[in-house]
Amino acid sequence: MRGRIPETTLTEIRDRANIVEIVGAHVGLKRVGRNQVGLCPFHAEKSPSFTVNDERGIFHCFGCGAGGNVFTFLMKMENATFPRSSSVWRAATASRSRSAARTIRRSAGAKRSFV
Ligand SMILES: [Zn+2]
């Protein structure tokens, strides 16, 4: 999933953005062992097979095979559940977790302030 965004920027944002915080704004997560698990937002399921690994900053669903990093998640969420919203930032701001929105905004501004 590397392409339009330069890898250094990706690494930088990935280091600062807490994937559990961001995914947790959309999905109810529960810690199981070293992972967080919850119901997958990308397919209908009754038992949680959606797993987030915050150490590696990745998610994976054993049910539908969706997986990737925090960017993949936000892009997929935008496609899956926010068809009328053109912006993942706005979606995050409107969600319950204001801290997640702050994290995203911080991440977006990170390059300018830290480089
Ligand atoms: Zn799934």
112 alpha carbon to ligand 1 midpoint, in Å? 35
Range list of β-strands (E), the chain: 30-32, 35-38, 50-53, 58-61, 67-69
Domain annotation covers residue 72: yes
Domain annotation covers residue 1: no
Domain annotation covers residue 2: no
pLDDT digits 0-9 by tens, 40-75: 999 999 999 999 998 899 999 999 999 999 989 998
The closest alpha carbon to 82, from 13, 38, 25, belongs to 25
Phi, psi of 24, deg, nearest 5: -65, -20
Tell me how far apart the alpha carbons of residues 16 and 73 are, in angstroms, rounded to a whole number: 16
Return the H-helix or E-strand segment holding 102.
helix 98-114
Domain annotation covers residue 29: yes
Q: Which of 22-31, 45-54, 79-88, 101-110 has the lowest mean pLDDT?
A: 79-88
Residues at Cβ < 5 Å from ligand 1 ion: 40, 42-43, 61, 63-64
| Between 115 and 103, the higher pLDDT residue | 103
CATH number at residue 53: 3.90.580.10
4 alpha carbon to ligand 1 midpoint, in Å? 25
Average pLDDT on 23-29 reads: 94
Tell me how far apart the alpha carbons of residues 26 and 112 are, in angstroms, rounded to a whole number: 28
| Between 98 and 27, the higher pLDDT residue | 27
Number of domains in the chain: 1
Domain annotation covers residue 95: yes
Tell me how far apart the alpha carbons of residues 18 and 79 are, in angstroms, rounded to a whole number: 21
Segments forming the whole domain that contains residue 12: 7-106
Domain annotation covers residue 111: no
> In this structure, what token pair is assigned to residue 2?
């590397």
Domain annotation covers residue 60: yes
